[in-house]
């Protein structure tokens, strides 16, 4: 993976901590809107992780493709990933 590993791991560990907190909130039968807010925050964190990974793909894999065909394949991968996200 070409994304900054330290950044990606830090963000993922933060998201994991958020999810652990959400689980605890559900177990404690906390107010639904508070739980929902935390779910949205965890989702935003995971989207940020994905943005880091996709940015690295674009900047490294696409930019440094050895041929036009390889570049086209890498762009197609990115388009497919964006289609799933959006």
pLDDT at 50: 93
User: pLDDT by residue (tens digit) across 20-44?
Assistant: 999 999 999 999 999 999 999 999 9
How open is the CA angle 22-12-36, to the nearest 5 degrees?
25
User: pLDDT by residue (tens digit) across 42-83?
Assistant: 999 999 999 999 998 888 888 888 999 999 999 999 999 999
Q: Report the 10 Å Cβ neighbour count for 53.
A: 18
d(CA 30, CA 52): 32
Rg from Cα positions in the chain: 17
Please indicate, yes or no, whether the overall pTM of this predicted structure exceeds 0.85: no
Domains of the chain, each with CATH number or no CATH: 5-85 (1.20.58.1000)
Nearest C-alpha neighbor of 45 from the set 82, 7, 78: 7
């Amino acid at each position: 993976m070409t994304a900054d590993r330290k950044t990606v791991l830090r963000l993922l560990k933060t998201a994991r901590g958020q999810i652990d907190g959400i689980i605890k909130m559900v177990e404690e039968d906390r107010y639904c809107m508070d739980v929902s807010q935390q779910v949205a925050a965890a989702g935003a964190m995971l989207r940020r992780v994905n943005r880091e990974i996709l940015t690295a793909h674009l900047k490294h894999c696409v930019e440094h493709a050895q041929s036009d065909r390889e570049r086209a394949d890498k762009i197609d991968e990115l388009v497919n990933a964006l289609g799933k996200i959006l």
